[in-house]
Amino acid sequence: MHKKTVAIVINTSWNIFNFRLGLLRALQEEGYRIVCIAPKDEYASRLQALGFEYHNIKINNKGVNPVEDAKLVVDFYRLYKQIAPDVILQYTIKPNIYGSWAAGMLGIPVISNISGLGTVFLNDSLSSKIARLLYRLALPFAKKVFFQNAHDRQLFISSKLVVEAKTDLLPGSGIDTQKFKPLTGGSQHTNVLRFLFIARLVKDKGLLEYVHAAKKIAQPSVECTILGAYYPGNPTAITGEQMEVWEEEGIVKYLGVSDDVQSVIAKADCVVLPSYREGLSRVLLEAGVLLEAASMAKPIITTDVAGCREVVDDGVNGYLCEVKDADSLAEQMKKMIHLSEEARKEMGRRGREKVMREFDESVVIEKYLETIATILN
C-alpha cells in the first residue's frame, strides 16, 4: 500500500531536530512517509540517523533579495515535484511564502505555521511592507494557517493577509514535559541568586534591557547570566566585543551556547526573557525561553506582550514587565530577589502545572494529525 508523504519545511535543520521530533515520530507511527526539507547543517545528519528522509535547500534568512528569492521559488518547485508530498507543513517566513507559491503551482496542499512575527509587524519599514505583501499573496495557497497566539492571528485577519475560516490556534510547538522536567539545581546552596537570559543575542529579545536591569540590581548575592548564540546577520545583533565589555565590567556572565539547555536551566533560580514579542516562546537559543523554563518549574520574568504573557500569570508563576523598559524589568527582578526560596519554588511549581495543563506537546501533535487527516481525506 502506498504511504502518504508528509514534508516538513523549515529554515534550519536545527529547528526540526530540536522542536519537531515529537511531531515527526507521531506522524511516522501513523504510517506516513516523512521528508525533512531544510538547509544543511550539523543536524541534517542527525535527522537521517533517526531514519527520516532529508533534502537540502539553500535559504538565505537575511532579508529580501529578489534574485535569490526567485531562485528559491524554483528550487522549492523542483524539490516538491521530485518528492511529490501529499501535504506540506511549512514553518518560518520564506518557506511559508515561497514554498506556498511552489506548492500552489503543483496543487499540493499546504499547512502554514506563523510561529512569531519577527520584525514584520514591529515597524513600518519598506522590508516590512514587502513581507506583508508577500504573505498576502502566499497564504491563499494554504489549506490551514496555524498561529501561536490570538493577537497575531487577529493581526493577520484584520490586515487581510488571510481569511479567518482557514486559521486556527496552536499552543506553540508544544513542550515535551517529560524531557523538560524539574531537575535538582538552582543556586540555593551557594547563597547566590542566579538569573538566566536565554535567546539569540539580538536587541529584539530585550538583551539591552536585561543588561541595564542587571546594572541596577547589582549586588554580590545576585548573578545575571546569558546563554545564547551570536546572530551576526541580524541588524539588531549584539557583538562579541560588546559582550566582553559587559563581562569585564562585571555586569553579566556569558555562558556561550549549549546543546544541554536543561542542565543550564536547572542551575538557574529565575529565567528572564524581556522580548519585544515572540510566537509562543520555546528555548534552545533560537526561539525564546518560557515554556521549557516553566516546564522545569522555574519562575519567569517576561514582557507583557503577545506570545509571552500567555505563559506567565503575573504574580502566580512569575512577573510581567513593560516592554523596552529596563526600570520595569529591574523592579520585577528585585521582587524575585526579595521572595523566599520556598516562594520562588512555589511559583515554579505553578508554572509547571500551567504548562502541563495548557501547552503539553500531545495537544499540538493531536491537532496536526487531525488537520492532516482531514486534508488528505
CATH of the domain at 315: 3.40.50.2000
Asked if 214 and 162 sit in the same domain, the reply is no
pTM of the model: 0.72
The residue range of the domain holding 144 is 5-173+361-376
Closest CA to 49 of 81, 20, 71, 17: 17
Residue 288 clears pLDDT 50, i.e. is over it: no
Residue 264 clears pLDDT 80, i.e. is over it: yes
pLDDT score for 186: 56
pLDDT score for 307: 75
Asked if 213 and 259 sit in the same domain, the reply is yes
Residue 277 — pLDDT band, cuts 50, 70, 90?
Answer: confident
Asked if 104 and 35 sit in the same domain, the reply is yes
Asked if 200 and 167 sit in the same domain, the reply is no
Residue 184 — pLDDT band, cuts 50, 70, 90?
Answer: low
pLDDT tens digits for range 341-370? 999 999 999 999 998 888 888 888 999 999
DSSP string, 251-262: S-EE----S-HH
Asked if 251 and 136 sit in the same domain, the reply is no
Residue 233 — pLDDT band, cuts 50, 70, 90?
Answer: confident
Could you tell me if residue 179 is inside a domain? no
Mean pLDDT of 125-142: 88
User: Which residue pairs, CB below 8 angstroms and at least 24 apart, start in 68-72?
Assistant: 69/94, 69/98, 72/98
pLDDT score for 187: 54
Cell 535543520 belongs to residue: 13
